[in-house]
């Protein structure tokens, strides 16, 4: 049974997607030296947001799978470390792309200022407008990426809360079963004690009845001896031994 369970866990692990894979693909697609154009930098930032979201989703699946394993905490620690390393691998591309775009925006502003100073306000105004639109577009992409990360984090907290509730429910069921078993054991002990007392009371009643019968027989014999003048040997009363503990209760006399 343990081998079958182990095989099932290994099969489930084989179906999980590696948490580090999105980061590795992102690094292969965007070597840092290639982030030297606005188009590439913007595309890289979009892919950075997507890679982060994919890492979070895969990390969530990894942690959910941990609750089916024996060493839950060790599995969760491993999943946490894999997520940290994946995010660390994504960070250089994120930083480099944003740095390039900031520099590009600064260069554009400088150029716009030069055009303005050269007596070409219309062209400078157009460039300033284009730069503003570009900045708004970049800001919108950053907001979209942040919203996606927030959504993934919300789902992560929700699923972790459900997993914690399942563990708490299981622990409560185990505790109730233990309490029920303890109550049953106490009841069984009380039943045994009651049965033994009943057996002792029955034996005492039997001894009392036997003693009464012996006394009556003795009185009758003494009376008969007084009438006939012949003494009669006394008869010892038969006293029954009490039944052993655990035996079926004797019927009342």
pLDDT at 248 exceeding the cut of 90: no
Could you report the per-residue pLDDT of 141-197, keeping only the tens digit for each? 999 999 999 889 888 888 888 888 899 999 999 999 999 999 999 999 999 999 999
Task: Please list, in sequence order, all residues whose beta carbon lies within 8 angstroms of the beta carbon of residue 16, skipping any fewer than 6 positions away.
Answer: 58, 61, 62, 65
For the chain, the average pLDDT equals: 85
pLDDT of residue 126: 80
**Is the entire prediction scored with pTM above 0.85?**
no
- Please state, in angstroms and rounded to a whole number, the distance separating the CA atoms of residues 163 and 63: 10
DSSP the chain: -HHHHHHHHHHHHHHSPPTTHHHHHHHHH--GGG--SHHHHHHHHHHHHHHHHHHHHHHHHHHHHHTTSSSHHHHHHHHHHHHHHHHHHHHHHHHHHHHHHHHHHHHHHHHHHHHHHTT-HHHHHHHHHHHHHHHHHHHHHHHHHHHHHHHHHHHHHHHHHHHHHHHHHHHHHHHHHHHHHHHHHHHHHHHHHHHHHHHHHHHHHHHHHHHHHHHHHHHHHHHHHHHHS------PPP-PPPPPTTSPPPPP-
Q: What is the pLDDT of residues 55-78, one digit of tens each?
A: 999 999 999 999 998 899 999 999
């Amino acid at each position: 049974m343990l081998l079958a369970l182990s095989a099932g866990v290994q099969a489930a692990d084989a179906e999980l997607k590696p948490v580090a894979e999105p980061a590795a693909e992102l690094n292969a697609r965007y070597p840092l030296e290639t982030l030297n154009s606005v188009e590439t930098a913007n595309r890289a930032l979009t892919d950075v947001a997507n890679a982060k979201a994919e890492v979070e989703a895969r990390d969530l699946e990894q942690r959910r799978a941990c609750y089916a394993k024996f060493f839950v905490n060790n599995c969760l620690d491993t999943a946490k470390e894999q997520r940290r390393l994946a995010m660390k691998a994504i960070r250089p591309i994120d930083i480099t792309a944003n740095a390039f775009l900031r520099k590009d925006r600064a260069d554009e502003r400088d150029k716009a200022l030069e055009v303005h100073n050269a007596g070409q306000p219309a062209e400078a105004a157009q460039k300033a407008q284009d730069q503003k639109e570009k900045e708004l577009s970049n800001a919108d992409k950053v907001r979209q990426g942040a919203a996606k990360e927030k959504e993934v984090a919300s789902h992560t907290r929700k699923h972790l809360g459900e997993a914690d509730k399942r563990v708490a429910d299981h622990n409560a069921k185990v505790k109730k079963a233990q309490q029920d078993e303890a109550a049953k054991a106490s009841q069984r002990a009380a039943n045994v004690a009651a049965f033994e007392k009943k057996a002792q009371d029955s034996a005492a009643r039997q001894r009392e009845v036997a003693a009464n019968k012996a006394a009556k027989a003795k009185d009758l014999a003494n009376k008969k001896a007084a009438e006939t003048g012949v003494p009669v040997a006394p008869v010892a009363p038969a006293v029954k031994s009490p039944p052993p503990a655990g035996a079926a209760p004797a019927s009342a006399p």
